[in-house]
Amino acid sequence: MKARQVFVLVIITVCTLVSPPLRCQHVNSVETRSKLNGSAVDFDWFREQFHRRYEVSSEEFKRRHLYFQNATKRHAFLNSFSTAPRAAKYGINQFSDLSQKEFRDLYLRASADRAPLFSGLKTQGLPAKFDWRDKAVVAPVQNQQACGSCWAFSAVGAMQSVHAIGGSQLEQLSVQQVLDCSFKNEGCNGGSPSSALNWLKQTRVKLVLQSEYTYKAKTGICHFFSQSHDGIAVKNFTANDFGGQEEAMMGQLVERGPLAVVVDAVSWQDYLGGIIQHHCSSQWSNHAVLLVGYDTTGDIPYWIVQNSWGTTWGNEGYVYIKIGDNVCGIADSVAAVFL
């Protein structure tokens, strides 16, 4: 405990010496969390910060501490690729006491249906930057918790944004309804945004509000509503592969609204912030997210992506991915919704 007090005292002392004061950040800052080294003091901080309650000296404690130490070694490796100010930073977050297998099994449960190559025309005169959040049509970041429901959050996120773009009030629709009722998917065990949208299109099922069918973070029994019940139905959707055509993908985002995409998010277990440019392959699609914007005004053009792991992860729940080179496989499976 004394070591921990000294650790905190040192941080406070350093903060008082930094000028100007607004630059001083708590130990929870991205920069600090990317430099924690797996020591017992750091692990104590982690357990307090993320409310871990496993007993000291228990087998679970020892196992989690080992995973935590392994995570800090990964962070050092990942952070060694670039020291540029806007480069991605990796460090301690809510997933740092999970093994890589546990993380994959719990959170990376999406699949990408094979999509045809996009054959449309590029949109002319695209703005240098565009963000649907500026139009107040993107719902707040959600937290899927320990349920592989990202595919449902991605599909529903696109639907509720497109509905708002059409002039309606932005309302959160029921992810749990899709999770329970989309029979071609597997609930918390995984699924595909395109498959979910196809189910909604074919059945003409109307999604009700989240307040009517609340999220449980587990697969349940499907609750049916009459066709006369208020809700939002999918008229159509498109799913395409934009590999090598990310400029055309930008056009689809501007014209159609936020897009449901499937990516390889293995390295996201350790992500804190910044623009992902490296060590994020396009070989294995495993996580579904919502693409809401882009920015090409800086040295590194990037996509703006809403995740479903809560606001304590990444950039307040968002991740930035370099445009070009199909980083993380972001262009491989892209779905747009029509209501």
Q: Is 150 a catalytic residue?
A: yes
Q: Which of 79, 286, 307, 315 is catalytic?
A: 307
Q: List CB contacts of 205: < 8 A, sequence separation 6 or more.
A: 177, 181, 199, 231, 233
Residue of 43, 220, 50, 238 whose CA lies nearest to 147: 220
Q: Which residues, listed in sequence order, are joined to residue 335 by a DSSP beta bridge?
A: 239, 260
| AA identity, residue 277 | Q
- Reply yes or no: is the peptide bond before residue 20 cis, omega within 30 of 0: yes
Q: Which of 79, 287, 315, 328 is catalytic?
A: 287
Q: Is 328 a catalytic residue?
A: no
Assess contact for 161 and 138: CB atoms under 8 A: yes
Q: Is 307 a catalytic residue?
A: yes
Structure-token match 């590999």, residue found: 243
Assess contact for 286 and 266: CB atoms under 8 A: yes
Residue of 39, 110, 45, 68 whose CA lies nearest to 270: 68
CA distance 291 to 139: 12
131: how many CB neighbours lie within 10 A of its CB?
A: 14
Q: Which of 75, 147, 150, 280 is catalytic?
A: 150
Q: Which residues, listed in sequence order, are joined to residue 106 by a DSSP beta bridge?
A: none
Q: Residues, the chain, total?
A: 339
Assess contact for 266 and 312: CB atoms under 8 A: no
Assess contact for 41 and 72: CB atoms under 8 A: no
Point out the residues that are catalytic.
Answer: 150, 287, 307
